[in-house]
Chains A and B, each alone.
Chain A
Amino acid sequence: MSRYIATRAIRGANAIVAEAEALMQKAIADKGADHPVAFPNTAYFLPVMYGMLGAEVETLGQMEPILEHAKSLLHPLPDEKLWVPYLGETLDSGMSTILAAEAIEAIRFVYGEQPEPYPGLELAGVTDYSNFGGNGATPPTDGHLNGPIDDIQLRSWGIQLVDGRMPGFAAILGAAHSNEAAVAIVRELQSRSILTFLCGNVNGRSIIDQLVEEGVEMGFDTYIIPFGRDTLSAIYPVGFATRSALTFGGMKGGQWRDILLYNKYRVFAFALALGEVDDLKYAAAAGVISYGFPVIADTVIPEILPTGVTQYEHVISMPWNEIEGATEEEKATKLVQKCIEVRGLKIKVSEVPVPVPYGSAFEGEVVRKNDMRVEFGGKHSRAFEYLFMEKMDDVEDGKIELIGPTFEDIEDKGSMDLCILVKVAGRKMEKDFEPVLERQVHYFINGASGIQHIGQRDIAWIRISTAAADKGFNLNHFGDILYARFHEDFGSIVDKVEISIITDPDLHAEWLEKAREAFEERNVRLGSMTDESVDDFYSCTLCQSFAPDHVCIVSPERLGLCGAYNWLDCKASFQINPTGPNQPIKKATEIDEAKGYFEGVNEFAVQASHGVVTEVSMYSIMENPMTACGCFECIAMLIPEANGVMIVSREDTSMTPTGMTFSTLAGMAGGGLQTPGVMGHGKFYILSPKFMSADGGFKRVVWMSSILKEQMAEQLKAVAEREGDPDLIDKIADETICTDVEGLLTFIAEKGHPTLEMDPMF
């Protein structure tokens, strides 16, 4: 153990706790001890305080005992002559540092200093502060950095964190050696789909400034999140890690040991300190080491090499000037590789032969009109993609052809028609897998940097940026991407892949007609699939790496609660990986048809949940409802007074009639526990005839987030007609109508909602 690191971490901790205490006393004097404190749109109060100490801090005054506790973890500086082991003292200091840093950031929100202003900055995906004003702070109006990641984003990243698309996260503190180095490091992390959090500065210059100067797009969509330009904002990644354990691991506040171990073994994160390291950075590093996250520095600092608290080394020094490499990119590659090695990340890198960087982190990248070379689809042209299976002999593997003109003759920022035709063949390929594979075209193409893909089927909309076109990206590269990815990801069901890129107008029109016929056939086929028409349901235990006791049962009429996996997806996944997370479940004997109890499902649930869940009702919210991990798109919850349920979307941050927001409700619905009356589910499950069918079905819905009403207007209309009440949607309240039970009861009584005349739900 390094005495130097221990000294500086302990000194930094002493100082920051003193600073936090002084700030808290000032805030109490200015605003009063009862003044509320919170991080916007997040559950679990101030998450580190809640996770580590079980403290539900909601006011300035409630911070006092927390800082007293932080003080109790402080130690004197190590003696200069007598050297003893310091690891315990250093880790204590780290914990007191993150408690103090969280207090400071929460107080900064009170003073309107968070999220940190950054005039002119536009982020591609950012925490929504529009509803935030609970502690008297004014929501930011101009450009700003992100501040804490909201629950909506945490949950929507959940599935990517568990299925390996997002192998972990890197918290970068400080500023890189040069702007080129900053871009190279971040691009290297992006190409490995590692979520990148940015904080801190050196001499007032942050990596955030460097990336802004270089025009790198930041935000949720590009996996690069700028938290703040100082080390204090590193509390947000620590809070994110704590909330991951509480959200997906089913842990409760105060289970500090379990939360730290959860992070050590399940959250693959590391810190990268760029530039000089001050006392607070050493202290913060000591804090993250407790979480099992190692720290890698690009400067000369002492190292802590033995393992123990982290799985591998604790602190590593890799001075930038000593890294071998002719260019900044080569050095960045080696630095990132070292980080990955030290944290033991498992990375799957797709080797795709295109002239631009490629990885999942580029999936959400937006190509704005000004940066665009050419677009396909959208307002001015038609783009579609169609994948279908053929006989083995009719598919020439590896053939990629462009039929028609390329975009070279199209004026800058112009548009043209495009068809991406994918023919596949395989011994295990089935007709039902066509839509599953076709949907991947969106993800595969989006993985290329500088390419934007939106929509699917005949409403696809693709843009190629000027930067990508300048690097030589052309239409044939769509084929190269699809060929490589289909073989890599679906190699066990696809033996041959042939791709035609069609821009020829006559052929385009001809294939569009054929494709539309096929889409219609698929719609009919999917619509006719019912739970009764199949012998097997499928399990999804993908999230067990985060929520160890949760198991999703996916049936044709009930998709996974994350919304990402339907029955056909699971079936295809089982073909691809027969020992993977999607296993067929023989329904076996039907115990109760109405409530959806099946012998096979119950047996599987017992075994897969390690005995925690013994019975699962597929169609009831009131009796043994299915558990949830934390990735759910919606929460349905009983409102006893209304004899019905409300459905809250995770995109809805407003208050609900239960007096709780989505974030608070999510704490009750997640973590692999069965709570009668509460259920996490996918948003398209609402449209299913089996939605809560044992409890009265869709007619029980009395309140629904308006965003769901808007997003699924047409489908909900069809559901209302199916239920025999075409005006039903108008009888369902939303947050614009009421956010309390009294208002809800008045509304449904006025509208004559059918649930008022239905049997009691319990």
Chain B
Amino acid sequence: MKELILEMPTMYADHHVLKVREALEGLKGIEEAYASSAWKKLMISYEEKSIKPAEIEKALTKAGYPPGEGATPILVTASSDLKRDPQWEKLGNRVTETNQKDLEMSGQSRR
């Protein structure tokens, strides 16, 4: 029995875990797999006589999850010069204050 640990940068949520496990289910020789979306890692125990790591990686790539490749998409990046969050330019300043409605509603919660 051999163990294989793969980095899975695009497996950032549990719906990806279901897809990754589905891809592994069709492969012979996989004894056990732990797919962690929290750590973006896939830990596999496999029978080396039945399957090779390359075949596992190929199956994962075919399912849309190439090990070690890609990254979690970041649509908004900080401005490199000022290290400022550019979104605040769009969203504008927001001021937090106690709203009268908060006060009114807080007194009327469930009887």
Residues of A within 8 A of B (CB): 11-12, 14-19, 71-77, 79, 82, 88-89, 92, 164, 167, 174, 200-204, 229-232, 257-258, 261-262, 264-266, 268, 276-281, 346, 545, 548, 581
Quick check: B14 and A280 within 8 Å, CB to CB? yes
Whether B78 sits at the interface, judged by CB under 8 Å, is yes
Quick check: A278 and B76 within 8 Å, CB to CB? no
Residues of B within 8 A of A346 (CB): 110
Return 6 A-B CB contacts under 8 Å, by A number.
A77-B74, A204-B21, A261-B101, A264-B105, A265-B106, A548-B108
Please report the C-alpha to C-alpha distance between residue A606 and residue B13 in the assembled complex, in whole angstroms: 52
- Known contacts A278-B38, A279-B12; A76/B74 CB under 8 A: yes
Quick check: B83 and A12 within 8 Å, CB to CB? no
Q: What residue in chain B is nearest A174 (Cβ atoms)?
A: B14
Task: Select which of B13, B73, B75 is within 8 A of A230 by beta carbon.
Answer: B13
Residues of B within 8 A of A167 (CB): 110
Quick check: B90 and A200 within 8 Å, CB to CB? no
Q: What residue in chain A is nearest B75 (Cβ atoms)?
A: A14
- State the 9 A-B residue pairs at the shortest beta-carbon distance, nearest first: A280-B13, A230-B15, A278-B37, A276-B38, A76-B78, A18-B73, A204-B21, A265-B105, A278-B38
Quick check: A71 and B75 within 8 Å, CB to CB? yes
Quick check: B110 and A14 within 8 Å, CB to CB? no
Residues of B within 8 A of A (CB): 12-15, 17-18, 21, 34-39, 72-78, 83, 85-87, 90-91, 94, 99, 101-102, 105-106, 108-111
Task: Select which of B83, B105, B111 is within 8 A of A261 by beta carbon.
Answer: B105
Please report the C-alpha to C-alpha distance between residue A19 and residue B99 in the assembled complex, in whole angstroms: 36
Q: What residue in chain B is nearest A16 (Cβ atoms)?
A: B13
Please report the C-alpha to C-alpha distance between residue A16 and residue B73 in the assembled complex, in whole angstroms: 9
Please report the C-alpha to C-alpha distance between residue A431 and residue B37 in the assembled complex, in whole angstroms: 63
Please report the C-alpha to C-alpha distance between residue A79 and residue B84 in the assembled complex, in whole angstroms: 9
Residues of A within 8 A of B91 (CB): 72-73, 92
Residues of B within 8 A of A229 (CB): 14, 18
Task: Select which of A14, A79, A581 is within 8 A of B78 by beta carbon.
Answer: A79
Further contacts, 7 of them, CB under 8 A, given A72-B90, A231-B13, A265-B106: A71-B75, A75-B85, A76-B74, A76-B78, A204-B21, A279-B13, A280-B15
Q: What residue in chain A is nearest B21 (Cβ atoms)?
A: A204
Residues of A within 8 A of B83 (CB): 79, 82
Query: Which has the most chain B C-beta neighbours within 10 Å: A200, A202, A264, A278?
Result: A278
Quick check: B35 and A203 within 8 Å, CB to CB? yes
Residues of A within 8 A of B99 (CB): 257, 261
Quick check: A265 and B109 within 8 Å, CB to CB? yes
Q: What residue in chain B is nearest A84 (Cβ atoms)?
A: B85
Residues of B within 8 A of A16 (CB): 13
Query: Which has the most chain A C-beta neighbours within 10 Å: B14, B36, B111?
Result: B14
Q: What residue in chain B is nearest A116 (Cβ atoms)?
A: B18
- Known contacts A88-B94, A265-B106, A545-B108; A14/B17 CB under 8 A: no
Task: Select which of A15, A203, A545, A548 is within 8 A of B73 by beta carbon.
Answer: A15
Taking chain B's interface residues, is the majority helix, strand, or loop, or is none over half, making it mixed?
A: loop
Quick check: B14 and A278 within 8 Å, CB to CB? yes
Please report the C-alpha to C-alpha distance between residue A82 and residue B84 in the assembled complex, in whole angstroms: 11
Quick check: B75 and A278 within 8 Å, CB to CB? no
Quick check: B110 and A230 within 8 Å, CB to CB? no
Residues of A within 8 A of B21 (CB): 203-204
- Known contacts A14-B72, A265-B105, A276-B36; A76/B86 CB under 8 A: yes
- Known contacts A76-B78, A203-B35, A203-B36; A280/B87 CB under 8 A: no
Quick check: B105 and A14 within 8 Å, CB to CB? no
Could you tell me the distance in whole angstroms from the C-beta of A99 to the nearest C-beta in chain B?
14
Q: What residue in chain A is nearest B43 (Cβ atoms)?
A: A203
Quick check: B35 and A204 within 8 Å, CB to CB? yes
Task: Select which of B15, B72, B85 is within 8 A of A232 by beta carbon.
Answer: B15
Quick check: A164 and B110 within 8 Å, CB to CB? yes
- Known contacts A15-B73, A75-B87, A89-B85; A278/B13 CB under 8 A: yes
Please report the C-alpha to C-alpha distance between residue A14 and residue B21 in the assembled complex, in whole angstroms: 24
Please report the C-alpha to C-alpha distance between residue A89 and residue B111 in the assembled complex, in whole angstroms: 35
Please report the C-alpha to C-alpha distance between residue A280 and residue B75 in the assembled complex, in whole angstroms: 15
Task: Select which of B37, B76, B90, B102 is within 8 A of A76 by beta carbon.
Answer: B76
Residues of A within 8 A of B87 (CB): 72-76, 89, 92
Could you tell me the distance in whole angstroms from the C-beta of A628 to the nearest C-beta in chain B?
20
Please report the C-alpha to C-alpha distance between residue A229 and residue B17 in the assembled complex, in whole angstroms: 10
Q: What residue in chain A is nearest B111 (Cβ atoms)?
A: A545
Quick check: B14 and A266 within 8 Å, CB to CB? no
Q: What residue in chain A is nearest B24 (Cβ atoms)?
A: A204
Quick check: B110 and A11 within 8 Å, CB to CB? no
Please report the C-alpha to C-alpha distance between residue A71 and residue B99 in the assembled complex, in whole angstroms: 27
Residues of A within 8 A of B18 (CB): 201, 204, 229-230
Quick check: A261 and B102 within 8 Å, CB to CB? yes
Quick check: A74 and B76 within 8 Å, CB to CB? yes
Q: What residue in chain B is nearest A280 (Cβ atoms)?
A: B13
Could you tell me the distance in whole angstroms from the C-beta of B14 to the nearest C-beta in chain A?
5
Could you tell me the distance in whole angstroms from the C-beta of B24 to the nearest C-beta in chain A?
10
Please report the C-alpha to C-alpha distance between residue A201 and residue B16 in the assembled complex, in whole angstroms: 10
Quick check: B101 and A12 within 8 Å, CB to CB? no
Please report the C-alpha to C-alpha distance between residue A280 and residue B15 in the assembled complex, in whole angstroms: 10
Could you tell me the distance in whole angstroms from the C-beta of B46 to the nearest C-beta in chain A?
16
Quick check: A266 and B85 within 8 Å, CB to CB? no
Quick check: A545 and B13 within 8 Å, CB to CB? no
Please report the C-alpha to C-alpha distance between residue A92 and residue B18 in the assembled complex, in whole angstroms: 28
Q: What residue in chain A is nearest B79 (Cβ atoms)?
A: A76
Q: What residue in chain A is nearest B74 (Cβ atoms)?
A: A14
Please report the C-alpha to C-alpha distance between residue A16 and residue B10 in the assembled complex, in whole angstroms: 11
Could you tell me the distance in whole angstroms from the C-beta of A631 to the nearest C-beta in chain B?
16
Please report the C-alpha to C-alpha distance between residue A272 and residue B35 in the assembled complex, in whole angstroms: 21
Could you tell me the distance in whole angstroms from the C-beta of B16 to the nearest C-beta in chain A?
9
Quick check: B76 and A11 within 8 Å, CB to CB? no
Could you tell me the distance in whole angstroms from the C-beta of A194 to the nearest C-beta in chain B?
14
Quick check: B13 and A12 within 8 Å, CB to CB? yes
